[in-house]
Amino acid sequence: MSEHEKPVKHGLDLDRVVLLGRTFDEYARFFGLNLPALPGQRILDVAAGVSSFTAEANARDIDVTALDRIYKFSADEIQARCEHDLEEIARTIGDKKVYRWEFYKSAEGMRALRAKAYRTFLEDFRAHPHRYVARDLPTTGFKEGEFDLTLASYLLFVYEDQLDYAFHKSTLLELARITKGEIRIYPTVTFEAEPSQCLARLRKDPECEFLKFEIIPTDFEFLRGSNNYLSVRRTN
């Protein structure tokens, strides 16, 4: 392969972070959440996008705040973009060999859940805007130790072609600052279903030596090799 030739992509070939929503049930599965333990905790959903986790959790009396840069836009603007992104991905994802379809059954099944998620999100975003905080990572604006549990899905590691190591490191250190309990990150592979190189570097980085990294297996796998999440805790 010449230096100007792009490598062959087996997964999604993305030039931007796409706006796809996940449901409460999907979060519970890929983060291995102990649902009875969540009430009473303060939870942050990072890069939450149009996922319905915040809406569905608060309906269950679970205190969740969502953070994403897109919340600076209106509900109508967000809707237009997420509908476009969903249809684009749904047209192409079924042919990708890096996915396992036991849970979603088909690209259409996945699209239906994604549509349910963003519609639930939009309703809650319009009704309860205070739950949705607009920030550009790695900045969050939250206080030190403000959250008991922080969840981050489908941004770190999976998008490492678009987001460099400096972004990963700065974001993780900021999440460690504002989280007094545990950070969970999913998945730990890229869109090519390959182990994240950024994760390997973070484990060895002297500035992250106060953090304990642990891979926790789960029974949910969509991207091949994504049947686990990363648990991060402060050691001091």
Q: For each successive 10 residues of the chain (236 residues), what is the average pLDDT?
A: 48 60 94 96 96 97 97 94 83 75 86 91 97 96 97 94 95 98 96 92 97 96 93 92
Inter-residue contact 135 to 110 (CB < 8 Å): no
Amino acid at 158: V
- Answering whether pTM is above 0.85, one says yes
Query: What pLDDT, on a 0 to 100 scale, did the predictor assign at position 98?
Result: 86
DSSP string, 72-93: GS-HHHHHHHHHHHHHHHHHHG
User: What residue ranges do the domains of the chain occupy?
Assistant: 41-234
The class that CATH gives domain 41-234 is alpha beta
Query: What pLDDT, on a 0 to 100 scale, did the predictor assign at position 7?
Result: 53
Strands 211-217 and 228-234: antiparallel
* DSSP assignment letter at 136: -
Query: What pLDDT, on a 0 to 100 scale, did the predictor assign at position 1?
Result: 46
User: Rounded to whole angstroms, how far apart are CA atoms 208 and 198?
Assistant: 12
Query: What pLDDT, on a 0 to 100 scale, did the predictor assign at position 70?
Result: 94
SS3 225: coil
SS3 163: coil
* DSSP assignment letter at 223: B
Which are the contacts of 94, defined by CB distance < 8 A and separation ≥ 6?
Answer: 106, 107
Query: What pLDDT, on a 0 to 100 scale, did the predictor assign at position 94?
Result: 63
Q: How far is CA 66 from CA 30, 43, 60, in A?
A: 18, 9, 16
Query: What pLDDT, on a 0 to 100 scale, did the predictor assign at position 48?
Result: 96
Q: Which residues is 214 bridged to in the sheet?
A: 231
